[in-house]
Structure 1
């Protein structure tokens, strides 16, 4: 988890253009209904899409969080890299004790507490952080944080994909800005997912919306992505330079 919320820094750099925009943060889970119910209640979101193996919840601040059926889901074991979290969602809350108590009431488990943030696991085992922001308007999404071996390098890749500038880069933490920030934290002994190998599950992936799949594919490959098996006429699957799967969707 990030040790603090990055602020603007002298490391701010312009983005090179962008391939697409963040559509959805997707969590794997063996029970999409229970997982969607938890996040809907926690964030005050609403269901925007639902079928047999997928439910999408949209938060009041317009983040899409989706839940993908994974019957053989192997939950992360935080902390550590034996079965790592790979990524987590950070939420702003005006009062840590109240928000944490509500999350536990809904089915979360407390993993770590301090004065500025509390780390919990949702019902499927995905860690998330409640971060103190006293002027927050209820619970809002701060961003999504990805584990990686080199935060600076991965921030540069995703800056190119999203077309958003790197707004912070120091002390093993980097961040790209925009309306849906992404954060990156360097971790020791990083253990990459090896999708679609169930022994090394992805846990989390991003859906990135693009205007054209062929153009988007060429652009992300040029930035350093790798094409993975899977996909259809509406989406294609890739891995970022350190193995995090993501989809280009159209």
Structure 2
């Protein structure tokens, strides 16, 4: 695989991981695959995993502004978004806005997510994509496609999509984009990606060649970088 990297996890920060993890488990019907003091993990029927990591100083986003930007969000597919809105509110979500074919909500940790109309989904929601904000959606999509070997199936400056056939990453252009400056608490990350690699040295060289920047964090089994939009991500051995 190009770059010797594979999308493993999208990990969202939260103060109370048990509450937000239980919220998504109850709303989506996904399986709980990890639950400990630091992480709460869920797996979709298609095999994609989403985790929530404990961040005691987490500052939630305030969508749609860029003073406290969302940075990442989940696009969830369901047969009946309107019916699921009521369930989501009972479980602790907040309704934020209505779009042409989706409804934007905020989870109990404050992260926005979209309930998207899709036929034939059934009782368990489908994760269409983890969506990442960027000043240039096409540029960031190409960076991750080149790093992971995922296919670029939609490419436009306003929005781009890459896939490996099971996992989708979407990138959307955001005006007045305000990047995280991790680990600066004044400009915190909201989420990050973990990419699994077979060889950290080779994968690091590839990431740097493509435009990543290494941060002074990590350990023997992982290293931390920022992508061209300054989102932190980890290469994990």
Q: Alignment partner for residue 119 of structure 2, among 134, 140, 162?
A: 134
Report Cα offsets for 1:215-248 as digits up to 9, x if no partner. 2111111111111122112211111011011111
- Asked if residue 43 in structure 1 is aligned to residue 28 in structure 2, the reply is yes
Corresponding position of 1:11: none
Q: Alignment partner for residue 107 of structure 2, among 119, 122, 132?
A: 122
**Partners of 1:38 and 1:61 in 2: how far apart?**
20
Deviation at 1:17, TM superposition (A): 2.5
* Structure 2 unaligned regions, length at least 5: none
Instruction: Give the 5 Å matches for 1:1-250.
Output: 17-138=2-123, 139-170=125-156, 172-178=158-164, 179-250=166-237
2:137–2:157 CA contact under 8 A, matched in 1: no
Aligned-residue CA RMSD in angstroms?
1.4
Deviation at 1:171, TM superposition (A): 5.4
Moved over 2 A (4+): 16-19
Deviation at 1:147, TM superposition (A): 0.9
Shift in alpha-carbon separation, 1:227–1:74, aligned structure 2, 3 A:
same
**Partners of 1:167 and 1:35 in 2: how far apart?**
31
**Partners of 1:171 and 1:198 in 2: how far apart?**
30
Deviation at 1:200, TM superposition (A): 0.4
| TM-score scaled by length of structure 1 | 0.90
Q: Partner of 2:2: helix, strand, or coil?
A: coil
2:160–2:171 CA contact under 8 A, matched in 1: yes
